[in-house]
Every structure is written in structure tokens, then in C-alpha cells.
């Protein structure tokens, strides 16, 4: 049975340790991503968002919660690797559009 291990209040992530009979253990992570999704939606739908800006402005493209970062890692996408930006944007647009903070659409294919 999993036991509470730690909590990261900044990310809303809690960790549980699952101790096994052979002495090994597994750390499980859990996160309530609804506040992150709500935040992304508020930013995307704000009265003054990126649609009012010209093309020369940088905008935050998405908010990626820890759990989604881990899912992306399983798919071979490292969000910190600048060489995988196209793959990351493609994956966000296809499978995680609710995390976008912009109405813009960047994709290479």
C-alpha cells in the first residue's frame, strides 16, 4: 500500500512511496491539473491576448504540468531540449490543446 512521501506546493504535486516486500519501492506522483488547465484557459481567453499583438512578440505557448511532462518523456520528448521544439509543439497542438495559453498555432507539418 502506498504511503504519503512528500508534497510540492508550488506544483501541486504529491508523492507516495509504495514499499514492496523485496525491499524495493516505487515513488508515485499525482497532480491535480485542473487549476493549471483553468489558468491556461483564462490566459488564452483574456481580452488582451496574443491576437492583439503583432508577429514580433514572444508569447507563452502553453503551461505544462509535471504529469504531462512525464507523459511527454515517455513519448521521447524532452521539453527542455531546444532541438525537440517542433515535436513538442506538434504534440501540444494534437494531444494537449487545453494547456495552450495562446490562440496561435505553430506546427511544422
**Domain residues of the chain, as ranges?**
1-31, 32-109
In this model, does residue 30 exceed pLDDT 90? Answer: no
Backbone phi and psi for residue 52, each to the nearest 5 degrees, phi listed first: -90, -10
Give the contacts of 107 (CB within 8 A, at least 6 positions apart): 86, 89, 90, 93
pLDDT 10s digits, 52-86: 555 666 678 899 998 899 899 999 999 999 999 99
The three-class DSSP label of residue 44 is: helix
In this model, does residue 51 exceed pLDDT 70? Answer: no
Higher local confidence (pLDDT), 5 or 100: 100
Amino acid at each position: 500500500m502506498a504511503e504519503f512521501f512528500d508534497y510540492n506546493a508550488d506544483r501541486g504535486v504529491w508523492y507516495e512511496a509504495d514499499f514492496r516486500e523485496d525491499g524495493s519501492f516505487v515513488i508515485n506522483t499525482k497532480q491535480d491539473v485542473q487549476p493549471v488547465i483553468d489558468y491556461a484557459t483564462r490566459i488564452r481567453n483574456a481580452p488582451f491576448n496574443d491576437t492583439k499583438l503583432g508577429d514580433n512578440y514572444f508569447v507563452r505557448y502553453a503551461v505544462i504540468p509535471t504529469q504531462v511532462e512525464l507523459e511527454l518523456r515517455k513519448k521521447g520528448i524532452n521539453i527542455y531540449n531546444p532541438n525537440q521544439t517542433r515535436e513538442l509543439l506538434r504534440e501540444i497542438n494534437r494531444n494537449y490543446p487545453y494547456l495552450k495559453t495562446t490562440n496561435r498555432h505553430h506546427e511544422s507539418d
